[in-house]
Structure 1
Amino acid sequence: MEDGSTSGDVPPGPWGLSIQYDDAVDLPAPTVRPVNPVLPDTVTMLEHAPSGGRVYIVGTVHLGEKSQEDVAATIRTVKPDSVMLELCTERLDILTVDEDEARRALSPLSELNRKHFHILAQQLGVAQAFRVFWALKQSGQHAKNLGISGSDMRTAFREAANLPNCTVLLGDRPQSITHQRTYGALTLWEYIRHLWIAVRDLCVHWNISQDDVEKLKTSAFLEADAARMSAACPTVQRAIVHERDVVMAEGLKWFLAQPVMTTEGPRSRVMVGVVGMAHVAGIQRAWNRPSLSQNEQKNLFTIPPTAKWRERAPVVVKVSWLLLCGYITSRGGRFLANLVR
């Protein structure tokens, strides 16, 4: 067994943020911590040789009850000094969502119809309205069947609050940067393929059940899905999955390198990381590689130039629409002229 002790504040990492619970000092500190804890099979333990610390990564899906149970069991058993979440400062509101209220609010979205689509199209344009419309409908359907996305993160946040001086850390890249690195550099062909895959997946996973959610966590499914996305949309897969794997692995290494200060001196840090199951294998691959240089870290947060076709697309759409209207008017005029004759 391992002696427990009180941890101090952890300074924010290169892309992380620490959240310290002021009321946690009133709780009793753990006296022991298991060396070889019995944990759910969704947990992967990684050791950080330079510091002697270790992290227990819980692979989750962001919907459903089983992942919540795995997260809660792991944190209660390990009693970590810090908990790292697959979140960024732009998504902090996920942690404070009232799930019952949100479920009542989102469930009616599954009933959106053509009238609502037309309203969105007038406000956003047809292409953007299409994506938003189906995303809203799917969110409503999932809210009815499974609950609100992010339940695993909220569970980790609550469990960490119940531990003395446990610090919550945000280890993901800002969502806005990921979005711009994903879609800003897509070629026209990649954009079309990505849109097609997104629509197809919406149809396949429309009425997903809890059993279906658990199947998404299997290694066979994850490997097949990663291979499919890498072949169809390598830019999307690289920005949304591979780059964020590296960001979170580097963040975990940085956090583990910060020792816990105790009355008996510094000791190695023990952490729990809560990430989507699709990121676990990539974090493992990045774990044993040399740490990134400052330039390599900077590159992961650099927004690439926007693809030229996206700058020209609005003009092309408008010109195409005018040409189509002109063609229809011309054909209609000829038809009327023939009728008059």
Structure 2
Amino acid sequence: MRFQACTIVRQFLRVQTIYETALLSNCIPKSSFEVTSRFSGSFPVPQSATFLQDDKNAKVVLLGTVHFSKQSIEDVSEIVKHLNPNAILVELCRQRVSLLELDDKQFLEDAKNFDARKFNREAAKGQNFVSGMLHAMLLKTYADIAKELGVAPGGEFRRAYHEMKKIPGCKLFLGDRPIQITIARAFQSLSVYELGQVLYHLTTANPKPLDKHQLEKYKDKDFVQAQFEEITRDVPAFKKIFHVFVDERDKCLAYSIQECVRSVKKPRVLAVVGMGHVDGISKYYGKMKQEHIIPLLVIPPEPLYKVFIRKGLKFTFYFMIFSFFYRLLFG
């Protein structure tokens, strides 16, 4: 049962990771740097980068990255060289911050010879049981994808982290919503029937192996739209899940960037996020208020059927313990 649950969550996280990659809308050629003239004082940036703000108050660059892309890693360094930021924000939360300390070569080696006990032991360090299990499942998901693509996850975030440490006074900000809240909100947004659809799809689907060369297809908007329509046609409930995983997080990330700008003097901010979040962040940046974000950080009350199931299992467990001791004492 525990193995089945882990498989379900890993498949769910895998779908989310690949979906973010699939939201790419523009091609990013290998030599993608060009001077942007939309803003005064602009400097060379990749085509995947956007100036959220470029005025006397702040200079804010939003870099959209392709997860598992070596070019995206180099894009980070190129922008840092020109911007010399005093704050860098990455699309991570505290539960995923360990990605910043991963050793790429060691991770790829471990992924090829996956040791579940080692990964679970490392994941559980300094965390409670739930956070540790979730972290372990995230690592397993990353390991599966890394093994298929030959690239360690989060390389662009690690590069941003290491570049930050080279700049005196530069601060690192974690901009994403806690992953537990996102998963809980996604599943609780579903009805019983929709939840059944999603669980059936995730447990029976046999995803095709990833090919890093085939990922380029996801830069074509028509191809992406066709993929999205196909999966939501088969399982309409995924529309709700993608809303929680993408649109809600776009708002949270936009608000985090706003707070990052507000908290540093003469801000020169680089925000590094997955390409799938760029359009949403650009749309919401400067418009988000605290009252807009607080509801997105709350896990909705459990539906009654879940409460009954949880309490039923709890009392069943207590009854079994009572029955065991009763038979032990009174034969």
Indicate yes or no: 2:269 matched with 1:275.
Answer: no
Report the residue type matching 2:63 in the other structure. V
1:80 alignment counterpart: 85
Identical residues among aligned pairs (%):
24
How many angstroms apart in 2 are the aligned matches of 1:249 and 1:285? 9
Find 1:45's aligned residue among 44, 48, 51: 51
1:197: Cα distance to partner? Answer: 5.2
Indicate yes or no: 2:187 matched with 1:183.
Answer: yes
Q: Number of residue pairs matched?
A: 252
Distance 1:43 1:297, change over 3 A: same
Report the residue type matching 1:243 in the other structure. E
1:311: Cα distance to partner? Answer: 4.2
Which deviates further from its counterpart, 148-157 or 180-189? Answer: 180-189
Which deviates further from its counterpart, 59-68 or 82-91? Answer: 59-68
Spell out, residue by residue over 1:38-64, the C-alpha distance to the aligned partner (whole angstroms, 9 max, x if none): 211111111177x73132111112213
CA contact (8 A) 2:108 2:143 kept: no
Report the residue type matching 1:39 in the other structure. V
RMSD: 3.3
CA contact (8 A) 1:82 1:272 kept: yes
| 1:283-294 alignment, distance < 5 Å | 283-287=281-285, 290-292=287-289, 294=290
Distance 1:227 1:47, change over 3 A: farther
Distance 1:185 1:175, change over 3 A: same
How many angstroms apart in 1 are the aligned matches of 2:140 and 2:195? 21
1:74: Cα distance to partner? Answer: 1.8
> Which segments of 5 or more consecutive residues in structure 1 lack a partner in the other structure?
1-33, 111-131, 261-266, 318-341
CA contact (8 A) 2:108 2:150 kept: no
How many angstroms apart in 2 are the aligned matches of 1:229 and 1:256? 38
SS in 1 for 2:213: helix
CA contact (8 A) 1:108 1:140 kept: no
Spell out, residue by residue over 1:122-161, the C-alpha distance to the aligned partner (whole angstroms, 9 max, x if none): xxxxxxxxxx999948833532533221111111111222
2:297 alignment counterpart: 301
Indicate yes or no: 2:103 matched with 1:105.
Answer: no
Report the residue type matching 2:105 in the other structure. D
CA contact (8 A) 1:60 1:217 kept: no
SS in 2 for 1:169: strand
SS in 1 for 2:61: strand
CA contact (8 A) 1:109 1:141 kept: no
Larger Rg: 1
**TM-score, normalised by the number of residues in structure 1:** 0.64
**TM-score, normalised by the number of residues in structure 2:** 0.65
| 1:326-337 alignment, distance < 5 Å | none
How many angstroms apart in 2 are the aligned matches of 1:176 and 1:187? 19
> Which segments of 5 or more consecutive residues in structure 2 lack a partner in the other structure?
1-39, 116-135, 314-331
Which deviates further from its counterpart, 238-247 or 64-73? Answer: 64-73
Distance 1:251 1:219, change over 3 A: farther
How many angstroms apart in 1 are the aligned matches of 2:158 and 2:271? 13
Indicate yes or no: 2:100 matched with 1:64.
Answer: no
How many angstroms apart in 2 are the aligned matches of 1:96 and 1:134? 15
CA contact (8 A) 1:83 1:169 kept: yes
Indicate yes or no: 2:161 matched with 1:157.
Answer: yes
CA contact (8 A) 1:46 1:56 kept: yes
Indicate yes or no: 2:96 matched with 1:91.
Answer: yes
